[in-house]
Copies of this chain bind each other. A is one copy, B any other.
Amino acid sequence: MTSKYYQQFKHTYLAVDCVTFCFTGEDLEIILIKRDFEPGYGEWALPGIFLEPDESLEECTQRIMKRFTGLENVFFEQFHIFSDPKRDPGDRIVTVGFYALIKVDNNVKKKVSEHKAYWYKLSRMPKLMFDHNQIVDRALESLRQKVKQQPVGFELLPKKFTIPQLQKLYEAIYSRSFDKRNFRKKVLSLKVLEQLAEKDKESSKKGAFLYRFDKKKYLALQKKGYNFEI
Contact (A91, B2) CB under 8 Å given A81-B81, A83-B57: yes
Q: How far is the CB of A1 from chain B (nearest CB, A)?
A: 7
The answer to whether A53 and B6 have CB atoms under 8 Å apart is no
The answer to whether B90 and A5 have CB atoms under 8 Å apart is yes
Judge whether A94 is part of the interface by a CB distance below 8 angstroms.
Answer: yes
Q: How far is the CB of A176 from chain B (nearest CB, A)?
A: 13
CB-CB contacts below 8 Å: A1-56 with B: 1-6, 9-14, 37-39, 50-56
Judge whether A80 is part of the interface by a CB distance below 8 angstroms.
Answer: yes
Q: Which residue of B lies closest to A60 (CB)?
A: B83
The answer to whether A92 and B56 have CB atoms under 8 Å apart is no
The answer to whether B39 and A56 have CB atoms under 8 Å apart is no
A37, B92: Cα distance in complex, Å: 28
The answer to whether A85 and B39 have CB atoms under 8 Å apart is no
Judge whether A214 is part of the interface by a CB distance below 8 angstroms.
Answer: no
B-chain residues with CB within 8 Å of residue A92 when the two chains form the complex: 53-54
A37, B80: Cα distance in complex, Å: 30
B-chain residues with CB within 8 Å of residue A54 when the two chains form the complex: 85, 92
A14, B95: Cα distance in complex, Å: 11
CB-CB contacts below 8 Å: A167-226 with B: none
A205, B54: Cα distance in complex, Å: 62
Q: How far is the CB of A177 from chain B (nearest CB, A)?
A: 18
A10, B102: Cα distance in complex, Å: 29
Chain A to chain B: the 10 pairs with minimum beta-carbon distance, closest first:
A11-B11, A3-B90, A9-B50, A57-B83, A12-B14, A5-B37, A2-B91, A56-B83, A6-B91, A10-B53
Q: List 30 A-B contacts (CB under 8 A).
A: A2-B90, A2-B91, A3-B37, A3-B39, A4-B38, A5-B38, A6-B93, A9-B50, A10-B52, A10-B53, A11-B13, A11-B14, A12-B12, A12-B14, A12-B51, A12-B53, A14-B94, A51-B83, A53-B92, A54-B85, A54-B92, A55-B85, A56-B83, A56-B84, A56-B85, A57-B83, A58-B83, A78-B80, A78-B81, A81-B81
